[in-house]
Structure formats: C-alpha cells, structure tokens
C-alpha cells in the first residue's frame, strides 16, 4: 500500500510536475505527501565548528523563512485540495538528506522530477536524482513532464528473468495491483545477446512459477530490437504504456542491470515516467 509519498522539491517546474503526479496517487490511495526541501548551506552558516559565528544565524534563518514562503505558495495549489501535505525544510546535503528522511518518514514511494530528454548531463550524470534512484531502498518514480492527470492502464516492467530479479519484481507486482493496471513483463532480445524464443519462454515460465504471489493481470512479452533501450522504448510506444519499470542494483548502478548505459539513456530518452525498484 502507498500510504506515505515523499516528494523532494527545489521549487522548480520539474518538482511541481512530480508533485502533481504524487497528488493524483495520494488521492487514489488516500495517502499523505511530505514535501521535502533540503537547504544546502555553507557549513559555516549552520555549524560554529566550521568557523561560523552568531552573526551567521540570521542568514540561515532567512533561507529557512524563504523556503517556508515557497512552501506556502506551492501548497496553495488547487491540485492539492483535500490531500494531507506536510512540509519539511532541513539543513543537509540533498542526496543524504533525502535518503535519511525517506527512512525517518517511512516513505513508501519517492516521486522526483527531471529535466527530460534535454537533461542527460544536467540530470542523470552525478545528479541528486540519479543518486537517489541508484541507492533508494524504496521505489522511485521519475517524472519528466507535466501530467494534468496521472492515469495509467499499461505498465511495462523490463527484466532478464534471472532469479536475482524476484525481489524487485514483487514490488512491481504490488505497484501494478495497487493501481489496478496491466503489467507487461518484457524481455528484449538483441543481436549481441540473441536467444531463441523457445529459450526465453522457458526461462520466463520457470521464473513465473517461482513467484509466490504472481500478478493477476499480466502478459509475457519478447521484443527484438537493436538495443535493450530501443526495445523498451519501442515496445512502450507500441502498446501505449503509461509507465516503464526497471530494477536497480543499488550502488552498482542501474547500468549494471541491463548492460552499459541503458539506465541513463532510458530515463533520459523516455517521454514516459520511469519507476525503479531495488533488486
């Protein structure tokens, strides 16, 4: 169940896009939202051990007050009507603060915005969102554009049907069931790692037999393409999927999962939202 949704915000348009999606999910699941803004100030402003003085305190308080003013503006948005929203502003590094607060808040889902197709260098390489996606123990939903209404009927989950994927797959199943959507499991066959349909189908069937709580509404799909990333994107386009899901290996990085730079390319090039689950 999705009861607590954490939405890190820097008060940008991308953060608002994420908040709009979080609001739709909160309304559907009767969840609460916690808006989190990390105030990354020079250490001398928040800790005297770094050479700060009492005269620095008003400056730190100014940044905190400014954050709360921005919270007030954001929380007055009509799309949040009727939803319980908490605001939190803390002094910490953005990545560490988000990770710590997600655990403290006992969040079930993190929803974050990104710059979309033009933002590979800005967003995915070394960014806070990338770090959160790689390291989060809970699902992370990355939103790339504004959604007036976040409604999905078809949810693609790409995997290689290896045993190590069961944990992440269970989370994907739970998400699909909670949102009453069809789960389309996807294996992408590529020239560099070609396998026959019979081989893949046998592995798919063996994998599904091991699932103790298999999905109730799902399909098994094999798609041939020149790369895994292109296969996922083209299959998503073919069925009109509203969401793409993949598993992550934590600190080993998303790229470890499906070869090379798939993760960066997928999150960067997909116009659809992407949700990640810890393997």
Sheet holding 140-143, edge to edge: 85-91, 32-39, 4-8, 109-113, 140-143, 274-278, 243-248, 154-158, 182-189, 218-224
Of 116, 143, 170, the residue at which a domain comes to its end is 143
**pLDDT of 171-193, one tens digit each?**
999 999 999 999 999 999 999 89
pLDDT category of residue 264 using cuts at 50, 70 and 90: low
Same domain, 167 and 109: no
| Residue owning tokens 């800790």 | 47
Q: How far is CA 86 from CA 72, 147, 227, in A?
A: 11, 22, 42
Q: With respect to residue 149, please indicate whether it lies within any of the assigned structural domains.
A: no
* Residue, of 136 and 51, whose pLDDT is higher: 136
Task: Quote the pLDDT of residue 135.
Answer: 82
Residues 139 and 158 in one domain: no
Instruction: State how far the alpha carbon of 215 is from the alpha carbons of 118, 159, 218, in Å.
Output: 35, 15, 6
Residue 4 and residue 107 in contact, taking contact as beta carbons nearer than 8 Å: yes
Same domain, 60 and 119: yes
pLDDT > 90? residue 132: no
* Total number of domains constituting the chain: 2
Supply the mean pLDDT for the chain. 83
Q: Within a domain: residue 148?
A: no
pLDDT digits (tens, 9 = 90+) for 40-66: 665 555 444 444 444 456 776 777 788
Which one has a higher pLDDT value, 148 or 253? Answer: 148
Give yes or no: residues 120 and 178 share one domain.
Answer: no
Chain segment 212-234, per-residue pLDDT in tens: 888 889 999 999 999 888 899 99
Range in 102-111, 188-197, 199-208, 246-255 the model is least confident about: 246-255
Q: Are residues 9 and 138 in the same domain?
A: yes
If asked whether residues 102 and 131 sit together in one domain, one would say yes
The last residue of one of the domains, among 110, 143, 176, is 143
Q: pLDDT band at residue 1, thresholds of 50, 70 and 90?
A: confident
Q: Cα(first)–Cα(last) distance of the chain, in Å?
A: 19
Q: Is residue 247 part of a domain?
A: yes
| Whole-number Å distance between alpha carbons of 48 and 274 | 42
Q: 82, 116, 143 — which closes off a domain?
A: 143
Q: Is 258 within the bounds of a domain?
A: yes
Domain co-membership, 241 together with 138 = no
Are residue 193 and residue 134 in the same domain, yes or no? no
Cα separation of 187 and 110, whole Å? 26
Instruction: Say what percent of the chain tops pLDDT 90.
Output: 51
* CA within 13 Å, CB half, 139: 23
Owning domain of residue 99: 4-143
| pLDDT number for residue 50 | 42
Q: Are residues 8 and 94 in the same domain?
A: yes
The enclosing domain of 211 has a CATH number of 3.40.50.620
Q: Are 245 and 158 in contact (CB under 8 A)?
A: yes
């Amino acid at each position: 169940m999705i009861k607590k949704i954490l939405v890190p915000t820097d008060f940008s348009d991308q953060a608002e896009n994420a908040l709009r999606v979080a609001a739709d999910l909160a309304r559907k699941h009767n969840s609460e939202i916690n808006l989190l803004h990390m105030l990354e100030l020079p250490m001398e402003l928040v800790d005297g051990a770094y050479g700060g003085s009492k005269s620095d305190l008003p400056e730190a308080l100014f940044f905190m007050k400014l954050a709360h003013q921005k919270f007030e503006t954001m929380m007055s948005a009509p799309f949040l009507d009727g939803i319980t929203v908490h605001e939190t502003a803390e002094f910490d590094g953005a990545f560490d603060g988000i990770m710590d607060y997600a655990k403290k808040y006992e969040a079930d889902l993190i929803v974050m915005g990104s710059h979309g197709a033009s933002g590979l260098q800005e967003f995915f390489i070394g960014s806070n969102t990338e770090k959160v996606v790689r390291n989060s123990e809970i699902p992370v939903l990355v939103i790339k554009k504004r959604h007036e209404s976040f409604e999905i009927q078809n949810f693609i989950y790409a995997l290689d049907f290896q045993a190590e994927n069961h944990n992440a797959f269970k989370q994907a199943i739970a998400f699909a069931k909670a949102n009453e959507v069809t789960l389309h499991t996807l294996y992408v066959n590529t020239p560099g790692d070609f396998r026959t349909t019979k081989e893949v189908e046998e592995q798919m069937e063996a994998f599904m037999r091991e699932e103790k709580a298999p999905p109730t509404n799902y399909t098994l799909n094999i798609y041939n393409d020149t790369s895994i990333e292109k296969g996922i994107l083209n299959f998503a386009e073919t069925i009109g999927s509203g969401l793409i899901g993949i598993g992550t290996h934590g600190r080993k990085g998303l790229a470890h999962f499906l070869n090379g730079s798939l993760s960066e390319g997928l999150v960067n090039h997909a116009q659809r939202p992407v949700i990640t689950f810890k393997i």
